[in-house]
Structures are given as structure tokens and as C-alpha cells.
């Protein structure tokens, strides 16, 4: 079937390409002419593994094209997937729905036949109903609004779109449900579960999922503080807890905390909504989750200062700028926030990231940047690993030792095997262990037997 995707950011561009991949004819719409020009050339304007190749193939097959015209979008199809951004409000933690409302009403002004808008952005409950009212005032034909939250992760967005864990859709009518079932038929035939529910429940699904994951990360980081105080083995503890099938092993890596453009925003946005609706327990719980996560950054800074001494005038190499490996996304990057704070304390911070250097430079021009990990480490008084890229795991500790002034490594994300680095003469520190433990002999590795 013919579909439009309104908004060609990370979600929209990936979604447009993947819908074309499963057989639909797709028109991507974005008001940014430069962004559309890049996409028309078969490239994404951000880093997402495999997406450039998919865009090129689908454009050449004439199943995918891009435009800046809402009139063209309305004429192309009566079914529109709305995939624009919902950032936090500038003076509040709530969601800013400006782009959602603007894009939908701009489209509605050109609608002349019964149509369906399917929202995909993360929004507070009640957005579907509000959008339906706003669209009805602009369109010249009936327009229904459904909500179908996305669950993709940057770095694995194609797999998450083509092989998602679940599809959730909140629908206003049987006709809207039938349309959504047709859109996702190639995926549901392959076994992907489709949950049909009401719009308010669907609106809550993405924020709730991120809140659960955030709470799990904040809890394991809090347990890391106890490990640091007692000398307990954080890695073995996480393994012991993760073997419980009620808990699972995912999101149990203690370290610098979560970041990115979704999870922090969604936790704060849901907390703000809970507070506004007098759901006080939810608001309090989510606020604590956010506070614990934010505190990880200061803990890493304190660890660097405890290990290296006063940082003023010291050269610190930061390995990793993206908020997580596999992406060039630096939004709310814990690693870069720590680098910025160290710089403001007088440290000379030199940053290296395999793919996110450009984005980091735009947002933090006062930091220094290098084109390799070893170049960043040249004459460094400390090396701080802030993003667990596989490249850093593979670095030879002896080669790194030859580059630095002082063999001090602060591993803020469990990226390396401490024993290998300690054997090469490095002092290794981590947020979940006492600093003096870094100078003791490595404890025996925990083992798991069948």
C-alpha cells in the first residue's frame, strides 16, 4: 500500500526505508530541504548501520522517495505515519508537542479525502485526542488519529523496525485497526506480536518501557555504590541477579549511567505528567531514578580526581563521546557531560570517538579532539573510557602505555578487562569499586558452571 512518513529524523528515515523494504510504496516528508536532499541521494544524515545501503536500494527500486511538500503527501496517500520529534519543553520536563501539532495541521490543510494519521512519537497521554481535535479544524475531510509508538534503538534501528519485539497500536475505530493490520502484515506474518489497544494505553507504552529500563539501570548503579563500599564484585553480582528469569541479564552494567535523546527525556516527561495528574508515587519514583542516574556523572568526576589528583592543568584522554556505542548520537551524552565538567575544572580534555567526533565538536567546541584513541592518549595523565566501543576493548594496553604520561585508566562503563591492563602496569579504577582496589592483585574471575 501507499504510505507517507511525516518527519525524516532517525525514526522517520529508518521507518520509511524499512516500510519500503517490506513492500510498501513510501513517501518521506520533511520540511528541512538539506535533510531531504541528503536522503534523496541515498544517504542518512546520521549514523545508523545498514541504513545508507537500504535507502539507496529502495530509492532505485522506486519504492521510496522524499519531498518537502505536504500537498504532495496528502495527494499521495490517505495514510500518514507521523514521526516527528517531541523534545522536552525548554523550561519544563514535559514533552514539547509543537512539532507534532505543526506537522499534523500542515498536512491536514491539504487533506481532501478520508485519511488516517498514525502517531509514532513518544507523547503524554491525551495527545491522540488533542491532535484529532486540532486536525479536524483544518482538514476538509474526516481524519482519524491512531497511536503506534516506536521502540527502536539507535544503532540497531533497522533490526528493531523489521523484527520488533512487539507492535502496539491504539486505535479509534475498526477501520483504523484494519489499516494498521495491513501496514504491519509482513511483520505479523513473520511472528511479531501485534497488540491492539486504546490510544491512551498506546501513548503510555513507550514511556513506561523506558522508565522500567531506566529504573533497572539506576538500581544496578546504586548497588555499584554498595560494591564500592564493601569490595563486592559488581560483575559477579550482576551475573547472579541476571540469572533470575524474573529480572534478566539486560541493562545490568553499572557505570556512567544512561543518556541519549529518549530515555532521559521520557523518564522526566513521564514524571512531569505524573506530577501534573497527582500520581505522586509515580512522580517520586521516576524523579529518584533520574536523580540516581544523573549522580553517576559526578561520581565519575570524583573518581578521576581521587585517582589523578587535582585535574587543573592535567591532560585527560576521553575515549568515547556518543551516548552509547554504535551511534553518532551525543544527545545527553554522560561521557561528554563529564568531559565538559572536567574541562571547566581546568583539565585539558582530548576526545576520541569512532563515529561521533563531528557531532561532539559541534556541541562542545571548547574540547580538543583526536583522530585515534592513541592520539588522544598522547602524554595523558589519565585515560577515561566513557563509551564502551568494541575498539577500546581491543586496544593493546602496552601500546597505550607507550603513549601516556601516567598509566591511569578510569573505566566508567566496564569496557575493558582490568586484569590485562593491570598486568601491563596500569592502575585501573571504576565507579563500582573502591579506588585502592585498583592497585591490589586482580581477584579470581567468577565462573559459572552448568
- Residue 449 phi, psi dihedral angles, 5° rounding: -110, 145
> What are the tens digits of pLDDT across the range 340-352?
999 999 999 999 9
* Banded model confidence at residue 194, pLDDT cuts 50, 70, 90: very high
Tell me which DSSP letter residue 77 carries: -
> What are the tens digits of pLDDT across the range 59-88?
999 999 999 999 999 999 999 999 999 999
* Banded model confidence at residue 382, pLDDT cuts 50, 70, 90: very high
- CA 218 to CA 216: how far, in whole Å? 6
Measured in residues, the chain has a length of: 450
Q: What residues are labeled active site?
A: 262
Query: Is pLDDT above 90 for 406?
Result: yes
Residue-range domains of the chain with CATH: 2-197 (3.40.50.720), 209-439 (3.40.50.720)
The answer to whether the beta carbons of residues 19 and 164 sit under 8 Å apart is: no
The answer to whether the beta carbons of residues 400 and 411 sit under 8 Å apart is: no
- CA 319 to CA 375: how far, in whole Å? 11
Look at residue 442 in the predicted model and tell me its pLDDT: 43
Look at residue 444 in the predicted model and tell me its pLDDT: 45
Look at residue 448 in the predicted model and tell me its pLDDT: 53
Q: pTM score > 0.95 for this model?
A: no
Query: Is pLDDT above 60 for 363?
Result: yes
> What are the tens digits of pLDDT across the range 95-145?
999 999 999 999 999 999 999 999 999 999 999 999 999 999 989 999 999
- CA 301 to CA 449: how far, in whole Å? 37
* Banded model confidence at residue 90, pLDDT cuts 50, 70, 90: confident
* Banded model confidence at residue 235, pLDDT cuts 50, 70, 90: very high
> What are the tens digits of pLDDT across the range 132-189?
999 999 899 999 999 999 999 999 999 999 999 999 999 999 999 999 999 999 999 9
Cα 283 to Cα 271, 272, 273, 278, 297, distances in angstroms: 5, 7, 8, 8, 22
Locate the DSSP E strands across 68-200: 79-82, 115-119, 143-147, 167-170, 194-197
Helix, strand, coil in percent for the chain, rounding step 5: 45, 15, 40
DSSP 293-305: HHHHHHHHHHHHH
394 burial (CB, 10 Å; 0-12 / 13-18 / 19+) is exposed
- Average of per-residue pLDDT across 308-336: 96
Q: Which residue has the cell 585515560?
A: 383
Query: Is pLDDT above 90 for 440?
Result: no
Q: Which of 125, 196, 207, 155 is nearest to 49 (CA)?
A: 155
Amino acid at each position: 500500500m501507499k504510505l507517507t512518513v511525516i518527519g525524516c529524523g532517525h525514526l522517520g528515515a529508518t521507518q520509511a526505508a524499512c516500510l519500503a523494504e517490506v513492500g510498501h510504496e513510501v513517501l518521506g516528508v520533511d520540511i528541512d530541504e538539506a535533510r531531504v536532499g541528503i536522503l534523496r541521494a541515498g544517504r542518512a544524515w546520521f549514523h545508523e548501520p545498514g541504513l545508507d545501503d537500504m535507502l539507496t536500494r529502495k530509492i532505485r527500486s522506486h519504492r521510496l522517495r522524499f519531498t518537502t511538500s505536504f500537498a504532495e503527501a496528502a495527494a499521495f496517500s490517505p495514510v500518514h505515519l507521523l514521526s516527528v520529534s517531541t523534545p522536552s519543553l525548554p523550561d519544563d520536563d514535559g514533552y514539547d508537542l509543537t512539532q507534532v501539532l505543526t506537522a499534523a495541521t500542515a498536512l491536514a490543510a491539504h487533506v481532501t479525502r478520508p485519511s488516517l494519521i498514525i502517531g509514532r512519537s513518544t507523547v503524554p497521554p491525551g495527545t491522540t485526542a488533542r491532535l484529532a481535535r486540532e486536525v479536524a479544524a483544518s482538514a476538509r475531510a474526516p481524519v482519524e488519529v491512531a497511536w503506534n509508538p516506536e521502540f527502536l534503538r539507535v544503532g540497531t534501528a533497522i533490526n528493531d523496525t523489521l523484527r520488533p519485539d512487539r507492535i502496539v497500536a491504539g486505535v479509534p475505530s475498526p477501520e483504523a485497526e484494519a489499516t494498521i493490520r495491513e501496514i504491519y502484515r509482513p511483520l505479523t506474518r513473520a511472528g511479531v506480536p501485534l497488540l491492539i489497544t486504546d490510544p491512551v494505553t498506546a501513548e503510555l507504552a513507550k514511556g513506561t518501557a523506558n522508565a522500567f529500563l531506566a529504573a533497572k539501570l539506576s538500581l544496578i548503579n546504586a548497588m555499584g555504590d554498595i560494591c564500592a563500599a564493601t569490595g563486592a564484585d559488581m560483575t559477579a553480582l550482576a551475573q547472579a541477579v541476571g540469572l533470575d528469569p524474573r529480572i534478566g541479564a539486560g541493562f545490568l552494567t553499572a557505570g556512567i549511567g544512561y543518556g541519549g535523546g529518549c530515555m532521559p527525556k521520557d523518564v522526566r516527561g513521564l514524571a512531569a505528567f505524573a506530577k501534573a495528574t497527582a500520581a505522586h508515587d509515580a512522580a517520586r519514583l521516576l524523579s529518584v531514578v533520574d536523580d540516581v542516574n544523573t549522580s553517576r556523572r559526578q561520581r565519575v568526576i570524583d573518581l578521576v580526581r581521587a585517582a589523578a589528583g587535582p585535574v587543573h592543568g592535567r591532560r585527560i584522554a576521553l575515549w568515547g563521546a556518543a551516548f552509547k556505542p554504535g551511534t553518532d548520537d551525543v544527545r545527553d551524552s554522560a561521557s561528554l557531560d563529564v568531559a565538559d565538567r572536567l574541562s571547566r575544572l581546568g583539565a585539558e580534555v582530548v576526545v576520541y570517538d569512532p563515529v561521533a567526533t563531528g557531532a561532539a565538536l559541534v556541541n562542545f567546541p571548547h574540547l580538543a579532539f583526536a583522530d585515534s584513541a592513541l592520539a588522544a592518549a598522547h602524554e595523558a595523565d589519565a585515560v577515561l573510557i566513557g563509551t564502551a566501543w568494541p575498539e577500546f576493548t581491543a586496544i593493546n594496553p602496552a601500546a597505550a602505555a607507550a603513549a601516556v604520561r601516567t598509566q591511569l585508566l578510569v573505566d566508567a562503563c566496564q569496557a575493558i578487562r582490568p586484569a590485562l591492563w593491570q598486568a601491563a602496569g596500569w592502575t585501573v579504577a571504576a565507579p563500582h569499586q573502591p579506588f585502592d582496589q585498583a592497585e591490589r592483585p586482580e581477584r579470581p574471575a567468577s565462573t559459572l558452571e552448568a
